[in-house]
Amino acid sequence: MRRDKDRVPYAGKPNGFYVWRSRSSALIDWMFNVCLGLKDGELTTYDPVRMEWALDTPKGFRRGLVQGIAESDGSVSIASQTVEFWIEQDRDFFAGLLQTFGVKSFKNRQALSVTKNEVAKLGMIPPFSPVLQTVRFLRLQKLLRA
C-alpha cells in the first residue's frame, strides 16, 4: 500500500481527500465479497453491506462489530440524550445488530438514533470501547449517570 498525491478540493469534497493505492489480494477480496457481502466495484462508503450472517454470531463478536462501527461513526449528545450512528447506507443492518442486544433505534436524518429510553440498554453493550476510553465513551458514561 502506498499514499498517492492528495486530491484537491472540488464541489463534492470541499476539503479534498487523501488517496491510497494498494494491490488486490485474495484475502482482501474474500473480506469484501464474503464477509461484507460487497460485489466487485462496490464500496463501503456508498453501498450497503450484506452481513445478515453476523446477526447470529456469538455475543462477543457482535459487541466487537458494534464497537468498531460506533468508534468510527458514532456520536453522543448529552443535550438531546441520544446516541447516533452516522451510517446512512448501513442503517438497516446496524439497527438489526442493535436489536440482537434488545436495543431499539430509529432513522433520524442520515443517522440511526438511540434515545434516552434505550440508552441504558445500549450502555450494557457498551457501544464504545471501555479499553480505549475515547471522548465518546466518556460522554456516554456521563449520559448514563444523568
- Global confidence as pTM: 0.82
Answer whether CATH 3.40.50.720 is correct for domain 2-145.
no
- Rounded mean pLDDT, 3-9: 85
Closest by CA to 84, choosing from 50, 51, 125, 118, is 118
Give the confidence band of 28 by pLDDT, cuts at 50, 70, 90.
confident
Give the confidence band of 146 by pLDDT, cuts at 50, 70, 90.
confident
Task: List, for residues 102-118, the tens digit of each pLDDT value.
Answer: 999 999 988 999 998 89
Grid cell in block for residue 87: 451510517
* CA atoms 121, 127, 129, 133: torsion sign: negative
